[in-house]
Amino acid sequence: MSVFEQLSENKGTVSSALGKVLAQQVLQESRAGILLECVDLACYEASSPACKHIRSGAAKVVEIVAQERPELVAPYLGKLFPALAVKEPQTRWMIIRVMGFCASLNKPRAHEAIACAAKYIDDKEGLCIASSADLFLGDLGATSKEDAHTVFPVLERSMENPLANEQDWLLEALFKVFPNLGHAEQDRVLKFAERWRHSSRKTTQQRARTILSCRE
């Protein structure tokens, strides 16, 4: 059975489980054909709601592979770019994470995705997609001082009005870019972290205090 047929027949959590299986076949069995097919399927029939489970299932495969072996996916960021504009947020949040995992290996394409991340943050469509945009910006900003300077204004917009619980992922992203920021920008990050250091959520406290420990 082809990858397309497998993804067509699986939906919901079953599709997510299938994505993990297919990704492991790429990673452990060097089945590059699966990855290439999933790259194409991540934006399959982009305007068709009926095909969203195919797109999101394929995106899951690409995301897992990119996290483990970004060099396998980085050459295909251009082909994945249209998936950042499909209707369903599941596909978009996985592909924006892929852009971050591969940022250091394909910076031109990663930079093209900044505008999409900014839109996800401004639209406040949901926690998963907003936090994935934050993490992407953190991954890109961690690669150099120049990149940190480019993404920080977007992260600042996110800092101004985070969704409920978005602060955890935003703090994680800010920690990644912190070493590459100027003193004035670092001060703004520290101020944001101070705001959350006594949060009722222990995970938030930990992330905030990790940033505050960077204070000179």
Tell me: the pLDDT tens digits for 102-139?
999 999 999 999 999 999 999 999 999 999 999 999 99
pLDDT at 176: 97
* Residue 29 binned pLDDT confidence (cut-offs 50, 70, 90): confident
> Which percentage of the chain shows pLDDT scores above 70?
97
* pLDDT at res. 8: 85
Confidence of residue 12 (pLDDT cuts 50, 70, 90): low
Average pLDDT over all residues of the chain: 93
Q: How many residues does the chain have?
A: 216
Grade residue 156 by pLDDT with cuts at 50, 70 and 90. very high
